[in-house]
């Protein structure tokens, strides 16, 4: 394809970013890692409520509508700890008993999980819940700080899944609800359905949907400025068992499918079925040999010209032997080209009595199978899909699969990570100081982190990763408000609000520029890292996204010198941390570069002096060295001055053993009577440095030094283990079953609705968890995402009498 392909492989301990172009290989990591401790995070959760998995942003009303298990909330979009209103939609005891009688878990599965939240007009929403494996839908309004359920319940089969932990997707386009789910109790009958006055659905054929897992739906207005008089499309992303490959077991592949908005079904063939349903495989190849990765989430980055819109998709491996995840981008124009001009696959019988799928090379019927009604069809007298000839309909009924796969926009993955699996993604278009717009990806992980990454002219750069949950748990939902500048992350236990950027984390000019964050720039006049969109930022601002050029930054203030007393014969530990994950530490003693040797051991947490003597007295400087586009950026982060401890100046005093000296930031620890030396650690603000590893030695002197290091490490490890035990005893641990804690039957309400108006939760910014925190393992059911990116295209309704409901096919054989 001729594209410059960059792949970032980020594992926990040694993240690697490989560039597979011209044989080059480079290494990269998220530049900064921020643990869970920042005050700019907001957390909302309510006691006894779980599975905060459905979100609808109503920026026009200033609220985030949040669906959870048996609860719907209206939260302040600026601060989600402010609960403006809530309504509780619980199952009746009879429904719960009926569900349990069918073999489901009464306190987990037999509840009402809110799965659908879509706008109808300025005040009205359409909401559906699983209702103890008996899906049901209703209308809801928010106005004057009140959430009200209308109580006009409708059948939810085909619009909402039965199983609350089964992936599904839905979308509201105009007055029509598009849904991709399963329509039976057992979850064995998949369907892509449009609920409207002219409801249509997919065929119950494995060639259409073969044990699918639905992921995402969105609408593309392809009729806009269309020279062909084309129709709008609805695109669906999912995975399913492949039928086109000969494999010894079931092989799952990722797909994208589409249908035409004005599809009415056929007149005789495909009655009330899609005549435009076509699908193709998504290609997102990982760098190592593996089975095809599985799509987990998709986000549509819309453009005013729909042809330039891009789908960003997250993939994970389908085998347990690989821990890689990937992000691939797909152009709407490229997908459209495959569906409009590509070859089809067809099934043929072979001698081994099984079906094989090959490329169809015969003549295609006219009009083209799977195409929408356009100007060419209208010239043939076909005004709707009801006018299509049976030959065209029979072809697409038997051959909905395209032969060609959809290739990524860049020829391969934008980003590949190794370690915690990626789960969800949203993308924001950011206008930088250079006048260019950059797509910034926010990617959720299964251990509760959000990574922020951006592509600069083919170079993938991971700006930072932020831990948004104290206890590792999968992020099951991500939503982005570009206008408000916040990302909202949902999980089993709560919802977190995070700003798209926190420029104040970068404390110096060089740090701000090297972050290469399009949201931030260094304000020279105010001497701080500020948001680019802020009106307070001065005209003299520094930002270098492509190169990370810090030449315009003034030199930083010199760091203060820490005095350290040296006791001959002791081991001395001098802490120092690199300024970022991309930097390395370099140690200098009297302007001489130190490297690991039997005398000195340099490691990522600092410097260890072995068997110190009077010759080690002097100045030690630790520099954080970071490279950006071939330029070295050096920053001194720690300076120590070692001096002989008072009273110790002669050689005879070097023979004293077992003494402990503590003076001005020096901590010495003594082992036992058989330990010939002690380890001294200089006190420096910041986290405790990691324990040094033993250097390999070959000489007798090196072995003695190694023994001393081992003794020092053993002492430090014992102290660390003791501290860990004390912490665990004080903190306590408890685990939570999937779906939340067991609740007594006495608490099961009789009513179905309970309204709460203007009730404010006394939640604070990221409060401490209630006694312990749920430790919920990752599973196939916990990663649930129901994106509703439809737009409120309904005409304004004066009252509920105008809501006639969404058309439902009562005949189950016809759904």
Q: What is the model's pLDDT at position 555?
A: 87
Alpha helices by DSSP H, listed for 342-423, are: 375-379, 390-398
pLDDT tens-digit map of 243-294: 998 777 889 999 999 999 999 999 999 999 999 999 999 999 888 788 899 9
Residues 6+ apart with CB under 8 A from 297: 215, 216, 313, 314, 423, 424, 425, 478, 785
pLDDT tens-digit map of 123-175: 899 999 999 999 999 999 999 899 999 999 999 999 999 999 999 999 999 99
Structure tokens at 402: 């395209």
Distance CA 56, CA 66 (A): 7
Instruction: Return the closest-CA partner of residue 32 out of 455, 511, 498.
Output: 511
One fold for both 165-413 and 503-542? no
Q: What is the model's pLDDT at position 21?
A: 38
- 773 contacts 470 by C-beta, under 8 angstroms: yes
Structure tokens at 40: 């700019």
pLDDT tens-digit map of 292-319: 999 999 999 999 999 999 999 999 998 8
Distance CA 349, CA 342 (A): 23
Give percent of the chain above pLDDT 70: 75
Cis peptide before 473 (omega within 30 of 0): no
Distance CA 74, CA 66 (A): 6
- 372 contacts 231 by C-beta, under 8 angstroms: yes
Only one residue has tokens 């860049």, namely: 410
- Number of neighbouring beta carbons within 10 Å of residue 33: 15
Note the Cα 296 to chain centre separation in Å.
10
Strand, coil or helix: 715 = helix
Average pLDDT of adjacent 10-residue blocks, the chain of 815 residues: 40 39 44 86 95 96 97 97 97 96 96 96 94 97 94 95 96 96 95 95 96 98 94 98 86 97 96 97 88 96 96 92 89 97 91 80 95 95 96 97 96 89 96 93 96 91 94 96 96 96 92 95 92 76 92 90 93 94 92 92 92 94 90 93 77 38 34 41 49 40 46 52 44 35 37 43 34 33 36 37 49 41
Q: What is the DSSP string of 485-501?
A: TEEEEE-SS-EEEEES-
Q: What is the DSSP letter of 160?
A: B
Q: What is the model's pLDDT at position 645?
A: 85
pLDDT tens-digit map of 350-395: 766 577 899 999 999 999 999 999 999 999 999 999 999 999 999 9
Instruction: Return the closest-CA partner of residue 582 out of 511, 506, 502, 501.
Output: 511
Distance CA 483, CA 411 (A): 32
Which fold does the domain 503-542 belong to in CATH?
A: ligand-binding face of the semaphorins, domain 2 (3.30.1680)
Distance CA 386, CA 265 (A): 6
- 547 contacts 534 by C-beta, under 8 angstroms: no
For domain 165-413, the CATH architecture is 7 Propeller (2.130)
Torsion sign over Cα 156, 295, 452, 551: negative
Torsion sign over Cα 506, 512, 518, 522: positive
Structure tokens at 800: 């509920």
- 585 contacts 594 by C-beta, under 8 angstroms: no
Distance CA 501, CA 518 (A): 9
Distance CA 70, CA 113 (A): 6
Domain boundaries, the chain: 165-413, 503-542, 561-712
Residues 6+ apart with CB under 8 A from 352: none
Domain 561-712 coded CATH 3.40.640.10: no
């Amino acid at each position: 394809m001729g594209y410059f392909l960059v792949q970032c492989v980020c594992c926990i301990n040694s993240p690697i970013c490989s560039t597979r172009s011209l044989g080059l290989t480079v290494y990269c990591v998220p530049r900064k890692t921020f643990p869970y401790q920042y005050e700019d995070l907001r957390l909302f959760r309510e006691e006894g409520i779980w599975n905060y998995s459905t979100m609808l942003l109503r920026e026009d009303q200033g609220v985030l509508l949040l669906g959870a298990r048996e609860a719907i909330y209206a939260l302040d979009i600026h601060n989600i700890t402010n609960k403006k209103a809530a309504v509780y939609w619980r199952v009746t005891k009879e429904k719960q008993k009926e569900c349990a009688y069918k073999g489901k878990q009464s306190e987990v599965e037999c509840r009402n999980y809110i799965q659908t939240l879509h706008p109808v007009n300025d005040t009205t929403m359409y909401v559906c819940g699983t209702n103890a494996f008996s899906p049901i839908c209703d209308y809801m309004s928010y106005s004057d700080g009140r959430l009200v359920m209308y109580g006009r319940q409708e059948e939810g089969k085909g619009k909402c899944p039965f199983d609350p932990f089964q992936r599904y997707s839905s979308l509201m386009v105009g007055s029509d609800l598009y849904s991709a789910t399963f329509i039976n109790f057992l979850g064995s009958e998949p369907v892509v359905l449009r609920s409207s006055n002219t409801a249509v659905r997919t065929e119950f054929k494995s060639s259409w949907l073969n044990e699918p897992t639905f992921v995402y739906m969105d609408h593309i207005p392809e009729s806009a400025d269309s020279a062909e008089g084309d129709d709008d499309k609805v695109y669906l992303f999912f995975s399913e068992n492949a039928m086109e490959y000969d494999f010894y077991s079931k092989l799952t592949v990722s797909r994208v499918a589409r249908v035409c908005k004005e599809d009415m079904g056929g007149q005789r063939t495909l009655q009330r079925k899609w005549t435009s349903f076509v699908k193709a495989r998504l290609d997102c190849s990982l760098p190592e040999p593996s089975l095809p990765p599985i799509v987990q989430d998709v986000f549509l980055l819309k453009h005013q010209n729909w042809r330039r819109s891009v789908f960003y998709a997250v993939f994970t491996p389908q085998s347990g032997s690989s821990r890689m995840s990937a992000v691939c981008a797909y152009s709407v124009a490229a997908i459209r080209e495959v569906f409009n001009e590509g070859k089809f696959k067809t099934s043929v019988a072979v001698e081994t009595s099984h079906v094989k799928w090959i490329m169809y090379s015969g003549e295609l019927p006219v009009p083209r199978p799977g195409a929408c009604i356009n100007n060419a069809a209208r010239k043939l007298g076909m005004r709707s899909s009801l006018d299509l000839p049976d030959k065209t309909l029979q072809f697409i009924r038997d051959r909905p699969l395209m032969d060609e796969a959809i290739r990524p926009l860049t020829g391969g993955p934008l980003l590949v990570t190794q370690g915690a699996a990626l789960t969800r993604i949203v993308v924001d278009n950011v206008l930088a100081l250079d006048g260019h717009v950059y797509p910034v990806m926010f990617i959720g992980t299964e251990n509760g982190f959000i990574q922020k990454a951006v592509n600069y002219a083919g170079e993938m750069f991971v700006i930072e990763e932020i831990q948004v949950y104290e206890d590792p748990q999968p992020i099951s939902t991500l939503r982005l408000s570009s206008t408000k500048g916040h990302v909202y992350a949902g999980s089993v236990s709560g919802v977190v609000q995070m700003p798209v950027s926190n420029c104040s984390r970068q404390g110096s000019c060089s740090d701000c520029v090297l972050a290469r964050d399009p949201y931030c720039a260094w304000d020279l006049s105010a001497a701080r890292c500020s948001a680019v969109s802020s009106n307070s930022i001065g005209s003299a601002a520094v930002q270098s996204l492509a190169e990370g050029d810090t030449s315009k930054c003034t030199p930083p203030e010199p760091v203060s010198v820490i005095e350290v007393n040296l006791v001959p014969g002791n081991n001395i530990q001098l802490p120092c941390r690199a300024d970022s994950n991309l930097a390395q530490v370099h140690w200098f003693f009297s302007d001489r570069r130190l490297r690991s040797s039997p005398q000195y051991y340099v490691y990522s947490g600092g410097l260890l002096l072995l068997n110190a003597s009077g010759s080690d007295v002097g100045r030690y400087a630790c520099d954080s060295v970071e490279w950006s586009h071939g330029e070295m950026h050096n920053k001194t982060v720690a300076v120590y001055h070692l001096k002989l401890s008072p009273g110790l100046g002669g050689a005879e005093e070097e023979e004293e053993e077992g003494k402990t000296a503590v003076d001005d930031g020096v901590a010495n620890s003594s082992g036992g009577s058989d330990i010939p030396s002690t380890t001294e650690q200089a006190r420096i603000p910041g986290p405790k440095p990691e324990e040094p590893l033993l250097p390999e030695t070959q000489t007798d002197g090196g072995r003695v030094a190694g023994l001393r290091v081992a003794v020092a490490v053993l002492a430090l490890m014992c102290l660390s283990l003791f501290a860990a035990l004390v912490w665990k005893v004080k903190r306590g641990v408890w685990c939570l079953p999937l779906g939340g804690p067991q609740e007594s039957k006495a608490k099961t309400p009789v009513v179905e609705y309970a309204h709460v108006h203007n009730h404010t939760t006394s939640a604070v910014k990221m409060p401490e968890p209630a006694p312990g925190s749920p430790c919920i393992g990752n599973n196939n059911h916990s990663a649930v995402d129901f994106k509703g990116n439809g737009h409120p295209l309904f005409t304004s309704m004066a009252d509920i009498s105008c809501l006639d409901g969404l058309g439902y096919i009562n005949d189950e054989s016809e759904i």
